[in-house]
């Protein structure tokens, strides 16, 4: 069976004192990621009532495309820069469209 598009919801929670720094780092991911092969959509949201809460809404052409995303220099750099700035580990959930 061929790969189906993959939808990803990735939630990142910043420490309260590091919200602006985390936002800056996450924003740098958007443009570079949108240029990746297999990236169909990549949006960064920030919760209006809880500014420490950031969520990526992503759509990838395949599981392989999403996995390749984690091998890019911009993601590796962001992960390194986020060390110590997050309240909890990111919550990444992967979905396929059922209907």
DSSP state of 99: -
Over residues 67-96, mean pLDDT: 97
In this prediction, residue 4 carries a pLDDT of 83
Over residues 51-63, mean pLDDT: 97
Is residue 74 a contact partner of residue 28, using CB atoms and an 8 Å limit?
Answer: yes
Number of domains in the chain: 1
Task: Decide if 15 is inside a domain.
Answer: yes
Given a cut of 60, whether residue 2 has pLDDT beyond it is no
Q: pTM for the complete prediction?
A: 0.92
CATH number of the domain residue 40 falls in: 3.30.70.100
**Owning domain of residue 76:** 6-54+63-96
Task: Decide if 1 is inside a domain.
Answer: no
Sign of CA dihedral 56, 58, 63, 64: negative
């Amino acid at each position: 069976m061929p790969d189906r598009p993959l939808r990803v919801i990735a939630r990142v929670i910043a420490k309260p004192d590091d919200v602006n720094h985390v936002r800056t780092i996450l924003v740098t991911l958007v443009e570079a990621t949108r240029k990746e092969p297999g990236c169909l959509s990549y949006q960064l949201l920030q919760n209006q009532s809880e500014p420490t809460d950031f969520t990526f809404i992503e759509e990838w052409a395949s599981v392989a495309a999403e996995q390749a995303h984690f091998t890019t220099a911009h993601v590796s750099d962001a992960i390194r820069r986020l060390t110590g700035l997050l309240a909890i580990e990111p919550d990444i959930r992967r979905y396929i469209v059922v209907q």
